């Protein structure tokens, strides 16, 4: 690939990858854990995400290739099945994330235009995502760029509303300091942080641009940490504005919490326009994730890691139609059986396991040197990152049993596909993570 992406563009990509449906849909659910001080879990989530970001920053500088976690696990352990499971887990996290976005789409924001059962709105939404995905990669990327700008604008509108409220004396700023955690301070913040973590996911996807960055060894660490910081500041400002202008009970019960902010704001902004922005933001999250998931399925089939039928390409659109149908089918099942928060929590759980492995990989791969300079994380950061990720994955966070069951069944599906493929195709002796991510 041509190395054409500079530091500033890379920073914008990282910010764009992080901003998405999480803050639009879950800010109220986070409030349910801590009360008015709902900015606190976002702050803690940023600190914890930064620990794992140090591992990604070192590894992407050391191996500037577009394959992410699967590549690092493959280099560290060299076990085809483990590499496959990591790639499959990342793929499934994308599907659960898109499913959470679909449920959010069918809720309060859509109700501003038409009254439909949430599940009906979610299914219509998934059908639209499938059609855009099927249309082709160039069309999908163009749509993604436009939607990224729109979703960022929507969050800046909320920040602007907050600033206006502060200077005009509206709202109750003191409410942002009200701390009413469920099950005590530690467990309340822990549960809120585990959910807020969903809104900060996406920084790990930026490593897929490594092969196109001009100077990934120097630029990626700065873009990665800078993008995380900018996103976290925006999220905390949005959270502060939300709790300042809207009471906690309303935020918790609403599936469109930021729309509640717009409706009571002293700074006038058309609610329908903001609802449209929110719907597009949610759509962008789902599109990115389903695009990634369908291509990974295709890449695995092309390498004969899973049954080759999943690698079928449409004769005219040149898109992996079987992979699209497969991933959309799983998403349909998920939105039919889970709500926004549990599906988002499933995404977090799956990626926490992946993040723990990446943190371990950076330590294992210290034994292997490369012929160029790169960022080196302080050893305590990935060690603490691995411990934190595994801790956040435990039931102590208050995570529901259905989340663990759902995540377990999704991974089990991968194991079944691996075994079926081994029976009909034969033993897999090598997995190329780069070809999986690129869909080759």
Question: What pLDDT score does 205 carry?
Answer: 74
Name the residue among 189, 172, 171 with its Cα closest to residue 180. Answer: 189
Q: How far apart are CA 145 and CA 307, in angstroms?
A: 33
User: Are 251 and 243 spatial neighbours (Cβ–Cβ below 8 Å)?
Assistant: yes
pLDDT at 2 over 80: no
Rounded to an integer, the average pLDDT of 130-135 is 81
Question: What pLDDT score does 301 carry?
Answer: 83
pLDDT at 1 over 50: no
Name the residue among 124, 149, 161 with its Cα closest to residue 258. Answer: 161
Q: How many CB atoms lie within 10 A of CB 41?
A: 29
Question: Is the overall model pTM greater than 0.85, yes or no?
Answer: yes
Question: What pLDDT score does 283 carry?
Answer: 82
User: Are 77 and 225 spatial neighbours (Cβ–Cβ below 8 Å)?
Assistant: no
Distances (CA, A) of 411 to 27, 84, 108, 196: 28, 11, 32, 23
Return the CATH fold of 7-438: Amino acid/polyamine transporter I (1.20.1740)
- In this prediction, residue 300 has a pLDDT band, given cuts at 50, 70 and 90, of confident
Rounded to an integer, the average pLDDT of 318-323 is 83
Question: What pLDDT score does 117 carry?
Answer: 92
Structure confidence by residue, pLDDT tens digits, 369-427? 877 788 899 999 999 999 999 999 998 888 889 999 999 999 999 999 999 888 887 78
Structure confidence by residue, pLDDT tens digits, 68-112? 788 889 889 989 899 899 989 999 999 999 999 999 988 889 999
Percent of the chain with pLDDT over 70: 93
Name the residue among 46, 44, 48 with its Cα closest to residue 186. Answer: 44
Structure confidence by residue, pLDDT tens digits, 342-370? 999 999 999 999 999 999 999 999 988 87
Q: Which of 189-198, 211-220, 301-310, 385-394 has the lowest mean pLDDT?
A: 211-220
Question: What pLDDT score does 181 carry?
Answer: 81
| Helix 39-62, helix 21-34: angle, nearest 10 | 130
User: Are 49 and 235 spatial neighbours (Cβ–Cβ below 8 Å)?
Assistant: no
Hey, where are the domains in the chain? 7-438
Distances (CA, A) of 83 to 90, 202, 255, 269, 290: 11, 20, 37, 48, 21
């Amino acid at each position: 690939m041509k190395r054409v992406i500079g530091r500033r563009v890379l920073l914008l990509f990282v910010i764009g990858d992080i901003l998405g449906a999480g803050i639009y849909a879950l800010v109220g659910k986070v409030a349910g854990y801590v009360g008015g001080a709902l900015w606190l879990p976002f702050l803690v989530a940023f600190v914890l995400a930064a620990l794992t970001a140090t591992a990604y920053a070192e590894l992407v500088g050391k191996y500037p290739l577009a394959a992410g976690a699967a590549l690092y696990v493959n280099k560290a352990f060299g076990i085809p099945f483990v590499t496959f499971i990591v790639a499959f887990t990342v793929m499934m996290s994308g599907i659960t994330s898109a499913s959470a976005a679909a449920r959010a789409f069918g809720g309060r924001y859509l109700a501003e235009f038409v009254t439909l059962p949430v599940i009906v709105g979610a299914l219509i939404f998934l059908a639209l995502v499938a059609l855009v995905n099927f249309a082709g990669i160039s069309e999908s990327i163009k749509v993604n760029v436009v939607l990224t700008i729109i979703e960022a604008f929507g969050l800046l509108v909320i920040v602007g509303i907050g600033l206006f409220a502060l200077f005009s004396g509206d709202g109750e700023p003191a409410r942002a300091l009200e701390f009413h955690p469920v099950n005590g301070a530690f467990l309340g913040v822990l549960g809120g942080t585990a959910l807020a973590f969903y809104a900060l996911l996406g920084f790990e996807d930026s490593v897929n641009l490594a092969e196109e960055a001009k100077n990934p060894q120097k630029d990626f660490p700065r873009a990665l940490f800078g993008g995380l910081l900018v996103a976290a500041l925006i999220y905390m400002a949005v959270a502060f504005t939300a709790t300042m202008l809207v009471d906690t009970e309303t935020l918790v019960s609403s599936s469109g919490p930021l729309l509640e902010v717009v409706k009571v704001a002293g700074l006038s902004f058309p609610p329908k326009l903001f609802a449209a922005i929110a719907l597009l933001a949610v759509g962008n999250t789902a599109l990115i994730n389903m695009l990634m998931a369908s291509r990974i399925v295709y890449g695995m089939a092309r390498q004969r890691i899973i049954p080759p039928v999943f690698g079928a390409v449409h004769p005219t659109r040149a898109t992996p139609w079987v992979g699209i149908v497969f991933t959309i089918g799983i998403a349909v099942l998920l939105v039919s059986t889970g709500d926004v928060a549990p599906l988002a929590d499933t995404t977090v759980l799956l990626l926490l396991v992946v993040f723990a492995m990446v943190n371990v990989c950076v330590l294992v791969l210290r034994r292997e040197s490369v012929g160029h300079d790169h960022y080196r994380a302080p050893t305590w950061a990935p060690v603490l990152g691995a411990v934190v990720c595994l801790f956040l994955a435990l039931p102590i966070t208050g995570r529901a049993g259905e989340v663990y069951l759902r995540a377990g069944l999704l991974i089990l599906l991968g194991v079944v596909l691996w075994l079926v493929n081994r029976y009909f195709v034969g033993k897999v002796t090598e997995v190329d993570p780069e070809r999986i991510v690129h869909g080759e």
